[in-house]
Every structure is written in structure tokens, then in C-alpha cells.
Amino acid sequence: MGKKVGAVYKGHEKVEFCVWAPFAKTVEVVFEKSKNAEDLIKDNKGYWCKEVKNVAPGDTYKFRLDQKDEFPDPASLSQPQGVHSWSQVIDHSAHEWQDREWKGRQLSEMIIYELHVGSFTKTGTFEGVIDKLGHLEELGVNTIELMPVAQFPGERNWGYDGVYPFAAQDSYGGAAGLKKLVDACHAQGISVILDVVYNHLGPEGNYISQYGPYFTDKYHTPWGSALNFDDEYSDQVRQHFIQNALMWLEGFHLDGLRLDAVHEIIDRGARHFLKELSEKTDALETKTGRKYVLIAESDLNDTKLIRDYEHGGFGLEGQWVDDFHHALHTILTGEDAGYYTDYGKMEFLAKSFKQAFIYDGIYSPFRKRSIGNAPAGLEPSHFVICIQNHDQVGNRLLGERFAELLSFEKQKLAAATMLSAPFVPMLFMGEEFGEKNRFQYFVSHGDASLVKAVQEGRKREFEYFFHSHSEVDFPDPQAKSTFENSKLNWHFKKDDQKNKLFNFYKKLIKLKKQGAFGLFSLQNATFEADEDKKLLKVSAKDENSVLTGIYNFGSSEYSEKILEKIPPRPLIFSADKKWGGNKDSNELFDSGNIIVPAEAAVIYRS
């Protein structure tokens, strides 16, 4: 691996500074407080390094290139004065870890909860998340997935505009706050996954290209220039981001990474960046004795990401499955604009319940080409599914959640479908109690021209919406109110319906963790989809019993004869009065029939 970049505190007021700037003629490290400057020494790969004395944690510095321009460190660990200002030396060894017995967990065991640190609580900090760990423990989730925390401009951002991949957002509590959060989570048996962005960097405060060819003109992403993973000088760029990933895992004790939009990590070399990252993560597991997971977000439905090395794969542990969300969302809401035109059929929901991917090589009318390949032979635990996430909620014009779009009964139906499917489930913060505050897109850029570009870009993106809705208050991404309105309302237990939904989620998660729905992952499981009745029926058996799920998305009740002499035992019935419905479980089986109300799910053993 290349030189360790950034400012590494060695103790006794000594710091090893190192930055890759292959075309610079001179590089100096300049200190804000003392005004002193130290010349760095260049090696044959373009790294400029030197150990400097009399530098303590908290000291701030920049790099001066060719005796002219001064810029923050591209591998800065802290930016306390913002993205345009001085980088800060921190001592990674200062935190005394309390999680020595923690060994991590397999992806197959995870119940994931995605959250945005800034809007999860009133304080919007890592400390604020710690205050809510009791809630998460009560709910039953055992893993949190943090949306990106790499330093971004201002104090409000989803995190995908980060420009300092090594620095934890200062307004959230910085590196010290994140480490404290991870320790607190591990103390309560909760794993922590971090969302990282290796396909682009944000536009504001992005000085990395001043140092060298970190970007390439060969490719372009929807968010700007592509990072240079396979062009000239790409070796050092690859190592920059692999070092970053390993820092989060080893230095911050994180349990895994969610890799944003990997289809825009463009690498046509013989050893793809993702495979190299996976191999280096395997080596770290051997070194630390801990389990780490790498989860990819991809819209290609390509199993190469998760297949093992021996079968030509990249060896990642898992990937997000958009197909499951889209199939369920379109059936529940009736929406069919944009990419939703590819979904909306009960047979598609049945296919996704069975094998995750709907588009497994079949033709996509929306994309006008065939998409994906078959996931044959892959365990369900490679696939992460959801019914809401930051993208699918926040990238709606108004940011509405299911609690605003769906009836209460449909919310429970959606939850039952997701949590009984044989994949790794992921909740989006607040969904477990039917949060109605919208989650909208927000930024706090300091560049007026960039703010205008973001505002106009969002409006262009939703032009189709304005054509059909004459009076809509467009949520201004730059407005502080857009951010404040996106925060969770934590008074849900005062609302009987919200509290019942929360308890319904608790029950489903408990059953999921107990393996109550495990038979649905068997190869002998059968799937019946009725388009007219909007019904999905799933059934599987072993030598002891039969597990059946009936998911009624229709507007009429459904009934069928029960052939068993002994009445089946319901595991969960979404329309039960204890979950806020209007039925009793004992009304399910009436005179030899099972009767499932409209917008309800029942899962039972017989």
C-alpha cells in the first residue's frame, strides 16, 4: 500500500505529514498559529512527506504548493473551521476503546436502521444518536447505518457533498464524537455501518485536484468528474480511498461500509477497485479478528459484486435491491412515473420476494434495454431490502413518507411483507412509528452560484410534477426550514396509532430474529400472484410444518378453504385489534375458511 497520507500524530508532539502531489516542484506544510513552514521531501511516486517536531493535537495547518497557493489537506482528519479553512491535527490514539470483546456480526444476522445524524434528533449530533440507542434496542434493530459523515460544506447536508473523506463532520461532533457513538453502540450490541462515497466528491471546498490527477476526463458521473481509478497515476488515487475505507473500519471500529452508487465507480482495469477493497478488508479481518461487511448500492443488478473471488466476483458481502422497493411501492401507491413504469405487477413482487432481482436479464421498458443477471445460487443474506430509504423518500419532490402516502393498514402490510421476506431488512429512521414529517433534500452551501444551481437543478428534475400540480410550495434545499422540517418528531408514544405501529414493528423484528420466517428462503417455496385480486401468497414446508403468508394488497377481503384438520396458528396478523386493526386473530379461521381483510397480511403455521 502507498504512503499513509494526512497528518499522523506520532506522540511527543511529532507529526508525520504526507500528501500526494506528483507534479508539484515544492510542497510545504504551513501552520496557522506559528506561521512557520516546513519543506516536505518528495519520493519517486510523488508523495511529499516529513516528520515535523513541536506539533500538537489541535494545531492547524495547510499545504503550500510551489511556494504560492495554500490548501487544506485532502486527507484531513478534521476541518473545525469549515471546508475552505485550516486542517487540524488530531490524535487517533486519544480515545480509549471499551469494545475489546466486540467481534462484529454477519450480514445475515443484521436488522439495519438507516439514519441521518443531523435530522435524527433535535441536537443533530453523534451524542444525539447515543441518546436514542434505548429506542433502537427496544425496537429490536441490531445495526445502524449512518448516512455519510465525511466533512461537507456548512452544517446541513445529506452527506453526499462531502469533500474530506477522512474527516468526520465537525458539526456532528467530529472524530471524537463518532468514536464515542461506536463505543456506545457496541456496548448495547448494536453494529455500525457507515455510508461512504467513492464515486465523486462534492463541488464546494473540493481542492483535491490542485494536488494531482485525482479525477479523470475519461468518464463523467451525474455529479461531476469521475475519480481516477484506472487512468494514468491511478495507483495512488486508489490507495487514497482504500486507506480511507480501512481507516473507518480499523481506526473508528466501524462494522462495515455501504458503498454509494458503485456503478459510477468506473474502473476498467484487470483488478477492479471494489475487488481490491474487498481483499484488503479480508486482510484486515485476519489482522483484527473482527467481521466487517461491505454493502454496495448499484442499479445494475449485477451479481458480480457479491459473487466470491473464485467465480469472478468482487467478494462484497451484500448489495441493495431497488427492485423489491419499487415493486412494493408501485403496488401500494399506484405511482407509475419514471422508473416506476417498470414495476406495478403482482408477479414482479412475487419474483422479488423469491429471488430479490426482478430484472435478471429481462428487458426494461423504462431503460429500453435488458438489465441484470440471475442471482441463482446466491444466499438471500447477500441482498438488503427496504420499503423506505433516504433516496426513495428524499428524492421525491416533497419528500413524503409512507405515513403520508398510505393508509395505516397499508403501512403495516408493507412492513410485514419486507420483514417476512428472506433478505436482510433495512428500516429508514422514523418508519417504525409512522413519522409524518417529510424527509427533504437540504444543503447549506456558501457559494451563491452553487446554491442557485442546486435550486434550479432540483426544479428541473421535477418539471413533470409541476405540470400536473399547479400549486406546489417547492422546498428550497438551501433554506434552514427545509432541514428543520425533516427532523423526526420523537413524541410518537403519545399517539395511540403510532405506538401500535411501533409495537407491530417490534413483533415482526422479534419474529424475524427468531427465524420464524426462515422457511420462505427454501428452494421449495411456492409463490402465487393474483393480479386481479392484488394478492400474493407464499408457502414453504419442512418435515414438521407448513409456513404460509397471504398478503392482500386488494380492496376486498380474500378467503380460501383451510384443508388442515387442526386450525393453523397465526404468527402475525396485521389487521388484529392489538395492532390497531378491527379484527381478532380468532376471526381469521371461520368455518374452515381463512379470511384476510383488504390491505392486510397474515403469516401462519400449520
Pair 263, 357 in one domain: yes
pLDDT for residue 52:
98
Q: What confidence score (pLDDT) does residue 589 get?
A: 79
In a domain, 1, yes or no: no
> Catalytic: which of 59, 204, 231, 260?
260
- The answer on 239 and 118 residing in a single domain is yes
At 166 the pLDDT is 98
What mean pLDDT do residues 341-366 have? 98
Looking at per-residue pLDDT, the higher value among 150 and 543 belongs to: 150
Residues 449, 302: one domain? yes
pTM of the model: 0.97
Domain-embedded: residue 101: no
Assess whether pLDDT exceeds 70 at residue 471.
Answer: no
The answer to whether residue 200 sits within a structural domain is yes
Long-range contacts of residues 363-371, Cβ cutoff 8 Å, at least 24 apart: 365/341, 366/338, 366/339, 366/341, 366/342, 367/339, 367/342, 371/300, 371/301
Position 1 confidence tier, pLDDT thresholds 50, 70, 90: low
Domain-located, residue 518: no
Strand partners, 196: 259
The answer to whether residues 538 and 592 belong to one domain is yes
Is the pLDDT assigned to residue 469 strictly greater than 60? no
Is residue 297 part of the annotated active site? The answer reads yes
Residue 190 lies in a domain: yes
Would you place residue 585 in the very low, low, confident or very high pLDDT band (cuts 50, 70, 90)? confident
**Which helix or strand (DSSP H or E) is residue 498 part of?**
helix 496-513
Same domain? 118 vs 62? no
Q: What percent of the chain has pLDDT over 90?
A: 90
Nearest CA to 272 out of 244, 296, 299 is that of 296
Whether residue 75 is contained in a domain is answered as: yes
Q: Residue 497 domain-assigned?
A: yes
Residues 284 and 147 grouped into a single domain? yes
Please determine, for residue 465, whether its predicted confidence score (pLDDT) is greater than 70: no
Domain identity same for 309 and 448: yes
User: Quick one: 497 and 538 in the same domain?
Assistant: no
Pairing state between β 27-31 and 60-65: antiparallel
The string of pLDDT tens digits covering residues 288-336 is 999 999 999 999 999 999 999 999 999 999 999 999 999 999 999 999 9
- Considering the domain architecture, whether residues 501 and 561 belong to the same structural domain is answered as no
Q: Which of 467, 485, 510 is the last residue of a domain?
A: 510
**Average pLDDT for residues 357-376, to the nearest whole number?**
97
Confidence bin at 208 (pLDDT 50/70/90)? very high
Q: What is the Cα–Cα distance from 170 to 151, expressed in whole angstroms?
A: 7
**pLDDT digit string (tens) for 91-145?**
999 999 999 999 999 999 999 999 999 999 999 999 999 999 999 999 999 999 9
Does residue 450 fall inside a structural domain?
yes
* Mean pLDDT, range 506-535, rounded to an integer: 96
Distances (CA, A) of 324 to 301, 350, 418: 12, 9, 9
Residue type, 590: D
- What's the rounded Cα separation, in Å, for the pair 529 and 176? 51
- How many separate domains does the chain show? 3
Given the residues 297, 317, 342, 435, select the one marked as catalytic. Answer: 297
| Distances in whole angstroms, Cα of residue 412 to Cα of each of 29, 176, 285, 584 | 58, 39, 39, 16
28 in catalytic set: no
Does residue 563 have a pLDDT over 90?
Answer: no
Final residue belonging to a domain, choices 92, 119, 151: 92
CATH number at residue 339: 3.20.20.80
Range of the domain at 88: 6-92
CATH number at residue 547: 2.60.40.1180
Does the pLDDT value for residue 461 go beyond 80?
no
Same domain, 425 and 573: no
Residue 448: Cβ within 10 Å count: 9
* 497 and 573 inside one domain: no
Given 92, 122, 149, which residue is the final one in a domain?
92
Residues 6+ apart with CB under 8 A from 563: none
CB atoms within 10 A of CB 233: 16
Q: Same domain for 364 and 325? A: yes
Distance set, CA 128 to CA 73, 132, 338, 408, 488 (Å): 29, 7, 37, 29, 12
> Is residue 128 left, alpha or beta, with left meaning phi > 0 and alpha meaning psi from -120 to 50?
alpha
Residues 563/517, Cβ–Cβ less than 8 Å? no
pLDDT for the residue numbered 468: 53
Q: What confidence score (pLDDT) does residue 225 get?
A: 87
Whether 195 contacts 145, CB under 8 Å: yes
Cell numbers linked to 327: 415493486
Q: For the chain, what is the total number of helices (H) and then of strands (E)?
A: 15, 31
